[in-house]
Structure 1
Amino acid sequence: MSTGRLIAAYIFGSVGRGQADALSDLDILAVVENNLGKVAELDVIKLVPLQFASLKPSISWYGAARVAEMFQNGELFAWHLSRETVSLFDPNKFLQTLGTPAPYKECLADVRSFRAILSGIPPQVQQSAVNAAYEAGLVYVCLRNIAMAASWELCEAPDFSRYSVFNLSGLRKCPISVEEFDAAMHCRMASQRGLQPPHTATVSYILGIYSRLDPWLDELEELLLRKENGRQYAQNAV
């Protein structure tokens, strides 16, 4: 028996952006009253319009206070929600009451955090090839999160799309192909959905991608650092 109270529910992700395709899940944010727990998943799923009923729902549960905190802190997910949600249930205009999120200030820190995870992948697959498909999927996760963070500085607006890594400006194009990126993405989806991963998920594939990505990510990090230092200099000069 659920004890929670649903405050609001929204679609976000590719469906919220109007970019859904055959690979898309239905990402749903369920906002519940603090300290009361979740509501029944069915109570959220039944809010989904028929046009999206064929998509696999993936519900993210948040207390109202945590969502408000993300907006106050300027966290990247708050900007995602602010820009790209479709309301399913929102009787009190919950997100609207939070206003515009504070500026996102953790771009460089988040890029470095996901780079640290990425750097651990080559030793893992060299130690054991058994988990090559899982590690290939992790390449996708890290690279996509790096790109979404960097888009704050390197795009006209934050880019949460699947291929944001190919839309960054101010540095050379990402050195892996769309096909290689898609293979990593399919590895991730295979591990999440219990499907057969692509045959390309090999140790040599992962090491080859990493060898090209690492120097490019050095360039990306240096560019973000210059932008951050320039902003600090300008603030100190005022």
Structure 2
Amino acid sequence: MSKGELIGAYIFGSVARGKQDHLSDLDLLAVVRNGMGKVSDEAVLSTVPEEFRSFRSSISWYGAARIEQMFRNGELFAWHLFHETVPIFDPSSFIKHLGSPAPYRDAVLDVCSFRKVMMAIPEEVKANERNAIYEAGLIYACLRNIAMSSSWSLCRLPDFSRYSVFNLEGIDDCPISRSEFEKTMLCRMAGQRGGDPPDGVDKDFVLHLHARLTPWLEALQAKLEKVERRG
């Protein structure tokens, strides 16, 4: 039997933004008291309003101290929570009492980190063409995180939406189409949720996407570095 204590449960992501669609999960944040372990999934899911219970749920577990640390450090996820959480069990107003996170200062570092992951994709898919679905999904994950990080500097507000890569300002448009991006997204979802990946994703698809994205990502990083030097 779990000995954990639930401090708060919150909805974040597309449902919290009111932008949910047939691809959306119900993203849940569960905050538990430090050093006592988790509570049961059922204890968290029981707090979900009836109107959202048809969604597939994904629970992110955090101890209170880790959330507090993220706010002090100005981590991007803290800003995500600050802007978008909808409390569904929050007897102590935990997130609200944390106030505004410190400024996010790791955009360039985070973009560099995800670009390094992307650099390995061509060799991986060339080594084994059966990796194409996984590597296409990895392109989605990297682009999504790069765009969210970049939006801090390039947009009026940080953009945590699924299509944030198409909303960046002060930089040329992302060089892949929405339909291509959605294919990479469906590959990622197939890997995480099971189910069939989209048609037409093979080695050449992945390599062509990667070749177009590489110079754009280089320009994006240069833009962020320039903005950081000014700021």
The TM tier, using the shorter chain, reads over 0.9
Query: How many angstroms does 1:227 deviate by?
Result: 1.0
Q: Which residue of 2 aligns with 1:113?
A: 113
Residue identity matched to 1:30: A
Provide Cα deviations, 1:120-156, integer angstroms capped at 9, x if missing partner: 1111000001121011101000000000000000000
Distance in 2 of aligned mates of 1:78 and 1:178? 28
Query: Matched residue of 2:88: which SS?
Result: strand
Partner SS, residue 87 of structure 2: strand
Matched, 1:2 2:8: no
CA distance in 2, matches of 1:180, 1:147: 16
Structure 1 residue 194: deviation in Å?
1.3
1:88-99 matches, within 5 Å, as: 88-99=88-99
Structure-2 residue corresponding to 1:46: 46
For 1:158, give the aligned amino acid: P
Partner AA of 2:90 in structure 1? D
Partner residue in 1 for 2:144: 144
Q: How many residue pairs get matched?
A: 231
| 1:60-113 Cα shifts (integer Å, max 9, x gaps) | 000000000000000000000000011110001001110000000000000000
Q: Map 1:1-238 onto structure 2 (within 5 A).
A: 1-231=1-231
CA RMSD, aligned part only?
0.6
1:234 counterpart residue number:
none
Deviates more, 1:195-204 or 1:107-116: 195-204
- Residues in 1 aligned to 2:17 and 2:192: alpha-carbon distance in whole angstroms: 22
2:72 and 2:23 mapped to 1: Cα distance? 33
Give the Cα–Cα distance (whole angstroms) in 2 for the partners of residues 130 and 218 of structure 1: 28
Distance (whole Å) between structure 1 residues aligned to residue 12 and residue 200 of structure 2: 30
TM superposition score normalised by structure 1: 0.96
Runs (4+) of structure 1 exceeding 6 A deviation are: none
What is the CA-CA distance between 1:201 and the residue it aligns to?
1.5
Secondary structure of the 2:61 match is: strand
SS in 2 for 1:27: strand
1:184-215 deviation per Cα after TM superposition (whole angstroms, max 9, x unaligned): 00000111111111122211000000100000
Q: Give the superposition deviation at 1:36.
A: 0.5
Q: Gaps (5+ residues) in structure 2?
A: none
Cα drift, residue 44 of structure 1: 0.4
